[in-house]
Amino acid sequence: MAWMVAIVLIVVGCSQVTTNQPSATSPPQAQPQELTVSAAASLQDAMKAAGEAYTKENPNTTLNYNFGSSGTLQQQIEQGAPVDIFISAAEKQMNALEEKDLLLDSTRKNLLKNQVVLIVPNNGNAPDISDFKDLAGSQIQRFSIGEPESVPAGQYSKEVLTSLKIYNQLQTKTVFAKDVRQVLSYVETGNVDAAIVYATDAKVSDKVKVVTTALADTHKPIIYPIAVIKDSKNPETAKEFVEFLSSNETQAVFEEYGFSMAQ
């Protein structure tokens, strides 16, 4: 009888050990990941849509966004803000970070392209203008662009107006904004008579209407570069997300919001 009890104890013991060990065929559980994406204000709607598509395929990754003017975001990164990915609305800000060796090697690429447009309120009381040169006329009392030194949309706006030789004439009526979405809101609320924003910003608002689009030869090409920041805590996941944003799958999302791919 003693030997029967011993056998039972051995079998029970083996069963317990086996139960506590993970199955050799069980797939490893993906570790939760977080990415902080600092992106130009003009990307708010498109990036959220693209991010939703990504997290459906990668449910263990959480995306946190920080939207603002590219110049402000650049300064935050230079000051050590915890950022994994930066998307600028101009090459100037990305160049500055690259010169300071703050980008992860071989991760920078041109992601998107855009256009700048002249807009007025879509409320029946809009000034009757048809061209950028009309901004210098008496119909326009207040006009807005982004701050040229820190807001790429403002930089492009200044280039357009300078090429038309009216930038200086508009100084007394120009309201400078902290980012392009603030410019858009000034027109939506009727605080200004007209403004220059990206075509993609005008596309997401039914409170404004586009008067005309700036000719390509009046400003530098509008390129949105993207890169992983060297101090990223999750560089591999960040690189995967950058590749996802560059994929054919995501191209349709960006095009829906008025962007075109830079590749």
pLDDT given for residue 263 in this prediction: 73
* Structure tokens, 79: 């000051």
pLDDT given for residue 249 in this prediction: 87
Q: Which of 80, 112, 89, 96 is nearest to 41 (CA)?
A: 89
pLDDT given for residue 231 in this prediction: 96
The span from the CA of 129 to the CA of 132, in Å, is: 8
Residues 6+ apart with CB under 8 A from 152: 40, 69, 70, 71, 88, 89, 90, 92, 93, 146, 222
Q: Determine how many CB atoms are found less than 10 A away from the CB of residue 178.
A: 17
Residue pair 258/199 in contact (Cβ under 8 Å)? The answer is yes
Amino acid at 44: Q
pLDDT given for residue 30 in this prediction: 65
pLDDT given for residue 27 in this prediction: 42
The span from the CA of 70 to the CA of 82, in Å, is: 16
The H or E element that residue 42 is part of is none
Q: Which domains, ranges and CATH numbers included, belong to the chain?
A: 34-113+223-261 (3.40.190.10), 116-218 (3.40.190.10)
SS3 225: strand
Q: Parallel, antiparallel, or unpaired: how do β-strands 61-68 and 33-40 relate?
A: parallel
pLDDT beneath 70, residues of the chain:
1-30
pLDDT given for residue 99 in this prediction: 98
pLDDT given for residue 31 in this prediction: 81
